[in-house]
Structure 1
Amino acid sequence: MIAVYRKTFKWLTVGIYHKLSAIMAALLLFEWIRCLGDYWWEETFTIVNGVLFVSTAAIILIPSKFFSSLVQLIFLIGLNVAYSGYTWIPFEGDKKNVVDWTIWLASHVKQLSPFLWISLSIWVVFHFIVWMRNRRLFIIGTISLALLSLLVADSLLTPIHLWDEIAWILFIGLGWLVTSHFSSFKKQHPDNWEHLLEYPVSLFLPILIIITFVMGAGLFVPSIKPILTDPYTAWKEARGEEVGSFVGDKGVSTSPTSSSSGDSRSGYSRNDELLGNGFKFDYSPVMTVSTTKRSYWRGETKAFYNGSGWEESPVEKQEQSDPLEQYKQVLLPGMQPKTTKVEKVEQTFTIIRKDKFPVLFGAGPISTVLAVNAADVPPRLNWLPQSWELRFPAKSRGAYPKSYTIVSEVPVLDEAALRSGAATQPAKDADPIYLQLPSELPERVRELAAELTKDAATPYDKVNKLVSYLRLNYTYTNEPDLSKRQSQDFVDAFLFEMKSGYCDYFSTALAVLTRATGIPARWVKGYSPGSLPYDPERMRMQSGAGIEMNPEGAGTYTVRNSDAHSWVEVYFEGYGWLPFEATAGFSFPYALPEDKVAPVPETNTPVTDDTVEKAASGFHIPVWVFYVTAGVLVLCIAALRFRSIMDGWRRYRMGSDSVNERIVRETNRLIKYGRKKGLDHNEFETVRETMARWSTRLTFLQSEFHAVQGAFEKAMYSSQIMTQEEAERVTATMKVIRERIG
């Protein structure tokens, strides 16, 4: 058994530096690609990480390069087939026709795109890094490039902090450089290396302690304000702008000097008392939702409009809650008559971000909770029946659930019922808070509401008139021009001065105009549905058949910070609360009676000067195209002039050396070059012995080898300083030798 262990150990330690380099390269790429979390699908990460793992394992376990590469490619293709949704397409063409075979093969490859090309590119980069493992400057350059790219991405390209990835890459780089140094030392001084291995603790423990201390200091020392400000932060602050904290408060900036410049990032807001600042879209994922029907994911509701935004009203703050005591407990929605038809929607939420929200999201209203974190007992949650909110207690210290499953009973949009019976009468059951408007509200807002709804027969028709007006006459922008605002009231400024904004503008305007007509309304915030994974086959079948293949919109949606949204719920007597979407470009996914079609919102946008300008601008090339093109050109020029650049670099490095030192160095470089070309050289033999052996093998270069040997011995052992002319003659001789031996 001991003999087996020894053979196994010897087998695994053969080419140990090669295997350790493969591990380092895989870890380096694994950490680096994590910065692409906002842009890659989960399947992409699974395939790429699998390729890195299999490639590393194959290098460690399979000595043969050919069989190792073969195994890696087989697994690469297998992972792509397993996770890309690939389906086998039988060959149906002419077996003697090359074109048919090409089309058949292309149809298979197309199914694997883009996963195949991404994983294949990572695999090639991985092997290139491993192949260049013996060049210490390359290792330093690779680690530096990875760190620089992560620093740029952390500051400019992604809202996610990449400090952990940067720390791990630095740790990997230090470990790789230490491993490279030991490998080089072992080759140059094998006897000394064997001696050092007799004391492994003395050799490796100090290195481990130093690296651990450096990394630990970076992780655990108290945070202090940096003495030097990084260039990006300095540039932003010089412009009077704030560097976003990326917490996810859309349109809410913590800087008192913020304007419409878009310092904030889109996301679920925590404070809605002051709305209106611009924001940048943050496409980082928040959660995934597996649902039986496409829906808006409802969060909180606010009823008190203060002229600048929304607050919780005293009625909402004092609302009695029902504690959630067990799974499948029925949660009764307030102000929802039993006669209103509903549709059950089951949803499973998987939370990606670590943010803590005050409520559980869901299609409104939630009726039962089926599971939370797969726990036997649900966490402490309170159901607010009037607000339709499933809240955590105010002083709850627990973490937000990683996953939960709920069932919602969504009101069905029955237009016939809304245009007849009790729904046509003024609301009597709603609390007066849902009609509240500030006394300072400009009269022209009320006049506009009355003018728009004067011809509508029912409350439902009045609300639709208001929705259509907002969608037709106002444009969506995430960076509204606040310089146009003169009015102190948020809605008045939007309706009569700015005339453009994002969802908070549209939803608040609809709520205020609805209340101005005497119809109860409340403001709601949460998330729009998000996006389904792109399925080209379904799209092809749907477009070809001319029918909707998934009318309910069932599936797993990825919800991002950019999907944070607000809308309005309106109360109709005898019917209850019903959501309305006023924001241009959005459409609420209503539940409908059988054989009914959803009302199509009017989305025509008036032609503005901006629209004409964009149309006239014609073909537009993004700025990044120029940067990429310039970078490719620089790389091509560098590749074509590589030898000249390296010669210039060597001349620069050797500029301060004496002529004798330069000849000695060039002789050693010539010997290394000869070894690469297949000429024998023993590490312990002299230059004279090497040149004599080479002269025996390459008799046509005997005089040149003799000249190099003489110059080396004179430069190395003589007290004379050689002249520049002698150095140039020797350099020319070495150049002839290189050219003659290939």
Structure 2
Amino acid sequence: MKRSDEPIYWYRVSRMIWVVILGMQWVRFTEPIWFQQTTDIVTWTLIIVAAIDLLPIASLVRNIGKLLSVAIICRVMLIKYGIYMPYGRLFPDQILQMLMEFIPYIWFALITWLVLELISRLLLTRKYILLFLAADLIAFAILDSFTPYQLWQNVAWTVFAGLGWLVCLHLRDYQLSYPHGWRRLQQYPFEIIFNILLIFAGVLLIGTSVPSVSPILTDPYTAWKGRGGGQGTGSEVQSAISSAIKDKDPDAQGVLSGYSRDDTELGGGFEFNYSPVMSIDSPLRTYWRGETRHIYTGNGWADFDKEKRDYEVFRGLTTPAGLTHEQAGNIEMREVEQTITMQSDETYPVLFGGYFITKVSLLDEGRGGNPKLSWAAKEGELRWGGGFRGSQPDYPVKYKVTSEIPVIPLTELRGASYKHLYAAPIDEVYLQVPSSLSGRVKDLAEEITADADTPFKKMELLQEYLRMNYVYTNKPDISLRRSKDFVDSFLFEVKEGYCDYFSTAMVMMARSQGIPARWVKGYGPGRLPDSEDMRGRPALVTTTAYQVNNSDAHSWAELYFGEYGWIPFEATPGFTAPLLYADESPEEAAADESEPQEPVEDNVVEEEPSWLSSNSTAIRYVSLSIILVALAWLLYQLRERIYYGFVRLRLGRSLTYADKIAYGTLRTVKKLQRQGFERHGHETVREAFERIREEQPELSVILDHLLQKYESAIYSPNTATNKDWLSVQQLCHRLSRINHDKK
């Protein structure tokens, strides 16, 4: 028997759709650690083999078709990506080539085919389907907890496909067990589909509306990872994934986020790494400044070995108080102490702190040796171990810095002219522009800033333009790049990117307008413990320090404004530099300190990630609309019961069958009036029916029967029965339907 003749062929089709959806969740999970050609081969194999399996042909023919499709898919994809270049005759030359060059890619396709075959043959009952779905969800839960991946979307699609599969299975069983009932159900396809959609909409609405709740207990993995006081970079699983991602793309497309060691080649993309770096006990929320760069090469920023630094070297656990800063400005400073506790065993080239650092003390108990610190007063960098590559002493686990945070007189600075700000000679190193930077970058900067009359106002316009006209993504499409210059390609070709793109463009466009600028990298502020957690679980909260993760790694621009010194500018969309302003009222400043704003991290603007975060509002509206339509439809279906409920309330007693017959008939008369039949105020029901009979003789039989039931209920001493009431209902429905169809 061919498949098209089988009574449950529809179930085979729907089941395969759900299986493909489930399979795509695993393809999506493995995509970052697979070559793109492998992902495409598996994806197309999954879809095409599933489609061939549904064809109404013999099993042997289907399997031959699947085998040929696997070979064709591998051939097409490998040619597309330049891995396989056919030459010679198809047989035997190209066949021999394919046998050698298709490995290992063809194994992925064959395994995908094998998995589909196993699912088709083994998952035949509800029990096995539930076990399969449970294993799927448990696997995603483990991977979500123990790896850097965020797999909520995969879980949501798995639940969706699993529910759909089980619903189809239930309907198939009903069809086989009750064929007569199934044929009756087929008369109401809209009602069945609508009820299924209603259930799914309710699930989605609940899922997207439930608020996030912090965990009451720490899971064993997190507790194990933090058993050493929060030290450690994470698990071996994350390291393995990091290595796999780096191996996948040697051009850094997909490296993990974190503090960059090499900025000579900017571009590409990255995956988010949420492992902890440090916790910082600070009375103020600031950027945690690391290094600066001032030589732009057209591809990135020159390594610090090629940038001249004048170092002041200190040895020992504590630097003398009062580290000097060049070009710090003459504005008011606020002094704060910040204690940094490292939670990573990596060695960084600098010590971090708020800008400007004036003193540092190493707090490691029992630290021996005589560590070397190098202070670059011009750049504001405190380099660890002398700042040179090669062997370095153990990076301190805990240290304290004293920082001076500038209080910016914003109104005064906005009014300062170029002549006033740059009366003294400008250090040309901060105006350096390579020959690779095209003139259209300068032209664009001039056009953006044309309406401002002071340097600071011009830079505010430039900052706002970058934030409003370019898209943040951690995976920019670098295939759009044509220009050799990184900034030029970003502004005019790629038009999307992350902090390195925006901050570098801000620096170079500022320089093109004669404003000294430099590039800074470090970390964003991080997060404080959730205030609700602190209120609800005070015994579990041991610190109020900012938690900084590798996902907080960040870069920004600093622009020089003469006597006002270096001022940070944040051109990356979604980020706000935590600055202090002299124009801010004391009450606002106190509020900022007591309740710091939630910092915006790179992960809040992650691409793909999560369809949920970007589309949850749309999902809620769609789900709510479906539920409202369902309620309206339900009210329409129950309109008669609602009507008789109101009649009962008006009479103040239960309705007899005679009452229902009388009010039901009168309700039908009113419905006929709305359909065009007139009933004068003095007319009885009999008179109205006789006039309708004259206009439409074909309704005579129904009208006579309905009139007889009505008058019997009103005037006869006999008690009306439920049978009489059901008969009147049928007559009223027939009368309304016939007249409606005629209209």
TM-score normalised by length of structure 2: 0.46
Larger radius of gyration: 2
